[in-house]
């Protein structure tokens, strides 16, 4: 899905994500995946001038987890997980994504300006 994101977009995308995770019988991933998705959407809203992004929700072929990709037109990499001022209101998004997901990363787009930031969550056994 390709969107122009705004202040309330994360709420709507979280709902969509929850519907998919429930249908895929991975509801236990809703909280962590929703938080990570919120951070990626917030980064687009704050740091991408046109706020355009494509959001992709993927189920692993083996059914043992999921992946979310957010592609925007900003050539700047996501913030690095370095020390953040304790009183700063931002700068912790990458730390949060790393803390609540099993893997995350980013890839520059090969043929135009922009990048894809992604994360993966593994399904819990049980």
CB 113 within 8 A of CB 75: yes
Query: Mind listing the pLDDT tens digit of every residue in the chain (126 residues)?
Result: 788 898 889 999 999 999 999 999 999 999 999 999 999 999 999 888 899 999 999 999 998 999 999 999 998 888 755 445 554 455 567 889 999 999 999 999 999 999 999 999 999 875
Structure tokens at 89: 């209101």
**25: CATH:** 3.30.565.10
Q: Helix, strand, or coil here: 113?
A: coil
Beta-bridge partner residues of 68: 57, 119
Instruction: Please give the pLDDT value at position 85.
Output: 53
Please give the tally of structural domains in the chain: 1
CB 98 within 8 A of CB 35: no
Domain that holds residue 67: 2-122
Cα 98 to chain center, whole Å? 11
H or E stretch covering 2:
strand 2-4
């Amino acid at each position: 899905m390709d969107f122009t994101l705004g202040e309330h977009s994360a709420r709507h995308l979280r709902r969509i994500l929850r519907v998919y995770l429930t249908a895929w019988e991975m509801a236990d991933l809703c909280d962590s995946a929703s938080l990570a998705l919120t951070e990626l959407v917030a980064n687009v809203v704050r740091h991408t001038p046109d706020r355009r992004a494509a959001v992709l929700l993927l189920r692993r072929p083996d059914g043992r987890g999921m992946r979310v990709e957010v592609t925007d037109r900003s050539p700047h990499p996501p913030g690095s997980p370095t020390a953040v001022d304790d009183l700063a209101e931002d700068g912790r998004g990458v730390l949060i994504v790393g803390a609540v997901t099993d893997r995350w990363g980013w890839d520059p787009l090969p043929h135009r300006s922009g990048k894809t930031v992604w994360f993966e969550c593994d399904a819990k056994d049980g």
